[in-house]
Amino acid sequence: MRAIILAAGLGLRLQQPPGEQFPKCLLRFDGITLLERHLQMLEAVGVDEVVLALGFQPEQVEAELTRAGRKVPEIKLNPRFDLGSVLTVHTVADALTRGGDVLLMDADVLYDERMLAALVAGEHANRLLIDRDFEAGDEPVKLCLKQGVPIELRKQLAVGLDYDTIGESVGFFRFTEAAARRFAEIVAGYVDSGRANLPHEEAVRDLLLERSHAFDTADVTGLPWIEIDFPNDVARATKEVLPQLQRPALHEALKR
């Protein structure tokens, strides 16, 4: 299994002071960067092949990995990181299509390791994570199910959409080899048709609605996590999410 971590964006909504901006994956919580947490937890569940999709200040990310004494994983650069994440995913097409199950993960998430365990469980799967306890509004990417089948994945839902379960989609996806190849084709179509500025969730949505590959969902309701986009998210991550994270033994290992 291979993990692709999307960490190319500028993170403008975080409102970092001009001249002091750095990639969001290098945000520290209790002294540990988000990226290091990702890498440690991936190792803990047996995922040792990692591809980093970088764009904004990649040298800072490489320097931090070196400082931490970690071997720098495979890196793919998106020089147009100011555009949408579809283009970033397109830059890692080779990693999507080289075989085996693939995890596609946003880098700006602080999360409990049980969420990752739910994502990787089982031999082969196409899987999404759903949190049914979420704050309504325009920001969350909603995942809607009908009799357990994903039928919508979008921030804005069509009026009258028929579903029986709704939650927020965590920014992590798992694809089988065949589904990952098809996903890469869809993403390439977006780029070729001038839609590279869109979020990659739109391409995931297309894959879901094709029904060419069956997807299951893992319910992670009740587990602590937060996607970090705004300054208030940093405060919430520190005060609310971090204290709830499981496994103090892993936490201590991360700090060393």
List the structure tokens of 93: 């097409």
Q: What percent of the chain has pLDDT over 90?
A: 84
- Return the pLDDT at 249: 44
Per-residue 3-state assignment (H helix, E strand, C coil) for the chain = CEEEEEECCCCHHHCCCCCCCCCHHHCEECCEEHHHHHHHHHHHCCCCEEEEEECCCHHHHHHHHHHCCCCCCEEEECCCCCCCHHHHHHHCHHHHHCCCCEEEEECCEEECHHHHHHHHCCCCCCEEEEECCCCCCCCCCEEEEECCEEEEEECCCCCCCCCCEEEEEEEEEEECHHHHHHHHHHHHHHHHCCCCCCCCHHHHHHHHHHCCCCCEEEECCCCCEEECCCHHHHHHHHHHHHHHCCCHHHHHHHHC
* pLDDT over 90 (residue 53): yes
- Return the pLDDT at 254: 47
Instruction: Return the domain boundaries, the chain.
Output: 2-125+171-230+239-255
Q: Which pLDDT band, with edges at 50, 70 and 90, does 18 fall under?
A: low
Q: Give the pLDDT mean for 208-213.
A: 96
Q: Is the alpha carbon torsion for 106, 109, 112, 115 positive or negative? A: negative
pLDDT tens profile 156-201:
999 999 999 999 999 999 999 999 999 999 999 999 999 999 999 9
- Return the pLDDT at 21: 81
- On whether the CB atoms of residues 217 and 145 are closer than 8 A, the answer is yes
Q: What is the pTM of this model?
A: 0.93
* pLDDT over 60 (residue 256): no
* CATH match of 2-125+171-230+239-255 with 3.30.70.2190: no
- Return the pLDDT at 243: 95
